[in-house]
Structures are given as C-alpha cells and as structure tokens.
Amino acid sequence: MHSQFVSLLLPLFCLLSSLVAAKTKSSSFIHDDIVEYKDFKKLLRTKNNILALYVSSTKAAAAELKIFREAGESIRGTGTMLLVDCGLDQEHKKLCKKLKITPDPYTLKHYKDGDYHKDYDRQMSVASMVTFMRDPSGDLPWEEDPAGKDVVHFSDAGTFTKHLRKDIRPMLVMFHVPWCGFCKKMKPDYGMAATELKTKGGYVIAAMNVERQENAPIRKLFNITGFPTLIYFENGKLRFTYEGENTKDALVEFMLNPNAKPAPKAKKPEWSADTNSEIVHLTTQGFEAAVKDEKSVLVMFYAPWCGHCKRMKPEYEKAALQMKQQNIPGILAALDATKEQAIGEKYKVKSYPTVKYFSHGVHKFDVNVREASKIVEFMKDPKEPPPPPPPEKNWEEEENAQEVIHFLNDETFSSTLKRKKHALVMFYAPWCGHCKHTKPEFTAAAISLQDDPRVAFVAVDCTKHSALCAKYNVRGYPTILYFSYLKTKVEYNGGRTSKDFISYMNNPPNSNDRSEL
C-alpha cells in the first residue's frame, strides 16, 4: 500500500518540480540560451545595453553568478544580462573560443549599441552593477572611489532620513550630480576633509547623488537648484547652508567651529586683468579700431559664468602662445559680452562662447573651434567652414512615411489600436542611431502590407510623447511592441529588416492562421 501511494505521488512531485523550475527560469531576466555566434551577434543588434558574464563553470563562479542574477532582477527594462557558461559543453566552449574569452573563473564584459564597449570595472555588488547599467559610460561612482572612502554616501532618501533620526553628530552633506564640473573639482578636498575629521571623531562628512530618481524628494525638500549644495545638520536637524571655501582646510575648520562666520570667498580676478596673457581683450570703445587695422582677427565672445567658456579659455591662451612662438600672423581677441552688450547685440551673439572671424574690421563668418590645435590650424589658413547639413526631416515628413501611423497623444493611440487586429509599434527617439537605421525598413514593411485594413505599423516619438512611452515601460530605443486590439502585448525581438517585419506580421504571436493576413 505504501509503495503504491509513493508511486502515485512521484509523478505529481515531478510535475510540481518542473513547474517550480519553469517559474524560476521565467522569473529570471538572464539570457542563458545563447550558444551560436550568429545568435550572439543578433542579440547585440537588437539590444543596446548588454552586460555579459562568462564563467568557466557555474560552480566556480557561484558567488558572482548570485550577484549577477540579483542585479538582473533590478535592471529589468534598463539593460540586458547575458550568461555564458564556457565549460558547459562543446558548443559553449566553441562560442567562448570564437569570442576569445577564457574566464578564470569569470569575466564580465559590456556591449553597447551593437559593439564591445569595455570590461566591467566596478565593484562586484548588486548596487554597483545596477548603477553601472544605468549609465555604462559614466564616471566611477564617488562611493566606489578610494579617495571618498571616509565620506558617508547616502544611496536614497530612506537611508538619509533614517540616519538623521539615529545619528545626532554634526554632519555636513554635499548634494551633488555626476555631470557637475564644480562637484568633481571639489570631491578630492571633500574626501580629505572627511579623512581628517574621522581621526578627530564626532563628525560626519556625507554626500548624496540627487540626480537619481529615488532622491528627487530630498532635492525638493531642501529646494536644491544648484550644485554642489552643502547643508549642515546638528542633532538630526538642518541648521544652515555652508557658504565657505571649498578647500579641505576650510571644510575642517568649519566643522570644528560651525558657528564662526566663514571668511568671504576670494574673488577671482577677471580674465582681462591677466597681464601675462597673449589674448587681446576688447571693449566697446576700442573694438572697431582694434579689428579695423588687422587682416586676421579671431574674437571669442564669452560670459564669465559660462562653463564652456571656462573650458575654452586655457585652450585659447595656449593657441595664442603657440601662434607667437611659430610666428603665425593674426590676433586672438576676447570680449566679455555681458559687459559689452552693445557689441554683442550688434553681432547677434546669443550663446557663449561665440567665435567670429574678422578681416580689416569686417565680420566674415563664425567659426566652431575650441581646441588649441584646431584654433592654430585655422589661423594658419583662415577659410570659411562649409555650411552645416540641412536639418533632418521628421519621420512623418519623409517620403512614404504616411503608411506609418504617427500619433499625437495617448487618446488617439488607444482608439486606433483598439480597432487593429495586428499592430507593430516602434517607440523611438530621433537622435537614436539604431532608430535611424530601422526607420526605412519599418516604412518599407508598412508599404508592403498597406492594403490590409487589419494591420497597422505605428511610430511613437518618445521625445515628444514621454508619458505614452513611460506607460509601456520604454527604456531603450527602438523598443518595438506587437499589439492585438490593444489587449495582447508582446515584445518584438526579431530582426530589423523589412523582410523580418513582414514575416513577423504574416505569422504574429498567438496566430497559427497565416491566411488571416
């Protein structure tokens, strides 16, 4: 009786085990089925942000694989995770050999826009991996930089508010964003201040990246509009904003005595006050006379606060010195257009820096040169640059684009797709290279199937209709989705030629009747 009972339960147990295994596999966001090199190349063509983990065996790299899988769950929709077990069988070994990869016990490589980008160079943790996949081309996160090891980094609003409730020590928090040049310049001093204050005890030097979406509430709460913003806290409560110098000594001195009035920041001398400069600084009064007698004059119209101007200034100075050393004829001049507004208005200066070329007092043309080598090269043989190419047409303005439906809003999108049995929708951005390559193929497929009223090829510009794209969880471009009466939604992962699109629509998901189309 017992053996009969066991024999009855055994098939049920196997069925349950297979269901659990299937569920586990389907809940994973890791591609682990790539064996052929052509399938690998296809994945690179269809996905533009891929992190690939190559292992000598899953057992040898078990710890790394666990982190990789957890990160895969978190970055769903942001990127693609690929696992290749190079020791699994001969086919996998062949693929790894073809890719010239010998994991020991693992190798992590990133692929971007169809090509190899770089080896993964961050910490082997879920948080680091997720941060990397959100911005693979970005700088090393501050919290992973050894120079910032003594800075307390708050990852989100929750950990920040929790710290305020539990830690009453004096704390200075630097709210920053990755692209801020002033933040980058200040980080080394801030890190050194944190290290020095750590030895004294009783102080916290912290930082928070408020560009992250999860930190938006903090940015709003403290009305942070400029970067870096440094705020001082005591007993878990905001006291005031730090207004002192951004040097290590000034930061340490402030934390040791925060109630002392900070010394005023030293005012930087104006560029025109530099007596060692080879640049000729112009004013409204002497502008016309200065350029009239010269055959070749390049004038940089700038604003003191302009970041691009600040970056160009040393290059401009370097170019002027090289011209002097090489006896290259001509003058490099500069004019503060915020002070000399009349001249700026006369020559229609609307952005900074604007670089204009003059000959004997006559404005000839504008020049887009900002590097010393390019400036010197231009002044050796001043020639008008070729006109910029005409702006690209919007997709809906291109030839035959009327066969692709372009939507204006969510309402027309829904009402139209509800009437279409088979609709292929391409969510795109005009600047996206992959989108530009796909557009003519998508249009050609639409033309080929234009006579069937049940079929629609649809395009949505996500730079114009961000809410609609967010509704369908579009994270990369192009994202192509198949709809049937707006009820069925399937992600399209096929090729991107017109033949691929036509073949797919001739045998769409959940349709075994090819004659329907």
Q: Give me the active site residues, please.
A: 306, 309, 432, 435
Q: For the residues of 214-233, what is the DSSP string, one character each?
A: GGHHHHHHTT--SSSEEEEE
* Range list of β-strands (E), 113-203: 115-119, 152-154, 171-176
| 9 contacts 1 by C-beta, under 8 angstroms | no
3-state secondary structure 269-292: CCHHHCCCCCCEECCHHHHHHHHH
DSSP strand pairing (354-359 vs 297-302): antiparallel
- DSSP structure string for 34-89: --SHHHHHHHHHH-SEEEEEEES-TTTTHHHHHHHHHHHHHTBTTBEEEEEETTSS
Please name every residue paired with 153 in a beta bridge, in sequence order, or none if there are none.
207
* 44 vs 113: CA distance, rounded Å: 7
**Residue whose pair of structure tokens reads 């090509």 in the numeric block:** 115
- Nearest alpha-carbon partner for 163 in 227, 228, 218: 218
C-alpha 32/C-alpha 427 separation (Å) is: 27
d(CA 271, CA 215): 38
User: Hey, what amino acid is at 443?
Assistant: T
- Widest Cα–Cα separation across the chain: 114
Q: Give the rounded distance of the alpha carbon of 377 from its chain centre.
A: 33
- Residue at 360: amino acid letter: H
Task: Yes or no: say if 137 and 179 are a contact pair by the CB < 8 Å rule.
Answer: no
| Interacting residues of 42 by C-beta distance below 8 A, sequence separation 6+ | 495
Amino acid at 274: D
DSSP-assigned beta bridge partners for residue 236: none
Tell me how far apart the alpha carbons of residues 90 and 436 are, in angstroms, rounded to a whole number. 38
Burial of 505 (C-beta count, 10 Å sphere; 0-12/13-18/19+): buried
CA neighbor of 157 nearest in space, from 212, 93, 198, 119: 212
